[in-house]
A = this chain, B = another copy of it.
Amino acid sequence: MPDAIPVLRSPRLGADIRADHPAYDLIELLFFAYRDFVSDPDRILDEYGFGRAHHRVLHFVDRQPGLTIAELLDILRITKQSLNRVLKELIEKRFIESRMGTSDRRQRLLHVTPQGHDLALKLAKLQTKRIARALSDLEPDAKELVTRYLVRLIDPDDREHVERLVFGKQEV
């Protein structure tokens, strides 16, 4: 049914990047990969009455205990009103706790509860299965290369911030 799709041959040598011709394959693979990647946790989230927005909040609070509202907003790139809606539910259902800041008492330091951690872990393990399976019969250095590639897809201005968060790099 699909007509023959003109295939873009690789450029002759590595340096010659044809940025003028769309890289349809990677654009589309990123769409399909992400589509399936985020779909894994959906069934479980449903059981708790949560959606993907709850998942993202729970994940980052679990990863970084003591996260503030401002930091979370910076990660998620949504408005505080949008965040507040899902965060309120996570707190009411006792998956997340909000504690007053110690040095700055205006801040709210977010922590997962034990049941919050359990759910976060359950969801992370689910996604890890897919990631591990994808990596399983690629070259040994595949993970390192894919990691570097994904980092370089991120906005340059935000890269340092993300690396600090993901890899725990403290030094500049």
Contacts and interface: CB of A to CB of B under 8 A. Distances in A.
B19 A132 contact: yes
A167 to B, nearest CB: 7
A146 interface: yes
A172 interface: no
Q: A-side binding surface: helix, strand, loop or mixed?
A: helix
A167 B136 contact: no
B14 A140 contact: yes
Contact of A26 (B14, B21, B146): B146
Contacts of A80: none
Instruction: Determine how many copies of this chain the complex contains.
Output: 2
A147 interface: yes
A77 to B, nearest CB: 7
Interface string A127-149: 11111111110111011011111
A49 interface: no
Given A128-B22, A135-B17, A147-B26, A77 B3 contact: no
Contact of A142 (B18, B36, B121, B145): B145
Interface in A46-93: 56, 59, 63-68, 71, 77
Contacts of A28: 59, 63, 162, 165-166
Given A71-B1, A167-B7, A131 B64 contact: no
Nearest to A29: B150
Given A7-B167, A63-B5, A149 B142 contact: yes
B146 A145 contact: yes
Contacts of A162: 28-29, 32
